[in-house]
Structure formats: C-alpha cells, structure tokens
Amino acid sequence: MAIFDGVVTVDDNEVPVIIGLEEEGIRMSANGTEIGEWAIGEFSIDHRGDGVYTITADNESIRFVPNRPDLFAVGVGHPREEAAPAARAEEPGKHIAEPMGDGDQAPPPHNLTRALFYTLAGTTAALGLWALFRLFF
C-alpha cells in the first residue's frame, strides 16, 4: 500500500488528509479518522495539472493537492513528466515511502548523500585502523 499526504479542499476550507492507495481501492483519512474507503471502479483520480488532482467518488468531486505531486503521480500511474517540478523542493520526511514494484528503480543518490556516505565510510575505516593499531602496539 502506498500512502500519500496532502490537502483536500472542502467548502473553501483546506483539510490535511492521508490517502492510501491499495490494489483493491483507495482509503482517505484526516486527523486519524477514516473519511472513506472506495473499491476500484467506485472512484476516479484525474490530473488537473500543476500537481493538482480531482478525486471523484459517490458522485462528489474534491480537489486534492499532494505534498509530493511527483510521487503521487507515479503512485496513480501518471508519467513522471506530469509531476510538478517544484515538488522536489518540498520538506524531506513528509512522505511515507511506498514499497517499490518489480520494475521500479530507486532514484540516484544526491551529491550530498554520496559525500556523507563516503565521509562516514572513511571515518569508520580510520577508527578501525586506529583500534587495530592500539590493540597491537
């Protein structure tokens, strides 16, 4: 199950929600309370552009703006080109990662991630050599 957070607009009020996409359908909750659950075929998700989606269920439509439109686009089967480029600047840690499918690949690491990894690996190696040196000399 893939989980996405974002905001829906209800009566000109923005309500933070969490949407869970499952193989059987979709779940929507706000503040820990489930708003609804719909099976495949009982709802539709349409991309309106600029990272905004319309979710239609039970003959009602709501406007949904995910916090990470790029990941939501992939989750609902839209090509990555439809995702808003500004989404990459969102706060880290706001999205709960979804499991990757058989054909999916992870994105390449950022330069900062790579630099921190090599720094940590080098420091660990240096401390290991120092410990060996202190053990025998």
pLDDT tens, residue by residue, 30-85: 888 888 898 988 888 888 888 899 889 888 888 999 998 888 888 887 665 444 44
Domain that holds residue 24: 1-91
Average pLDDT over residues 14-31: 89
Residues 56, 121 within the same domain: no
Residue ranges of alpha helices (H) inside 1-137 are 69-75, 111-136
Residues 84, 119 within the same domain: no
CB within 8 A of 22, min separation 6: which ones? 1
Question: Is there a domain that residue 52 lies in?
Answer: yes
Q: What is the CATH number of the domain that holds 6?
A: 2.30.29.30
Query: How is residue 72 written in tokens?
Result: 């939501």
Cα–Cα distances (Å) from 114 to 106, 110, 118, 119, 123, in that order, read: 14, 6, 6, 9, 14
- The total number of structural domains in the chain stands at 2
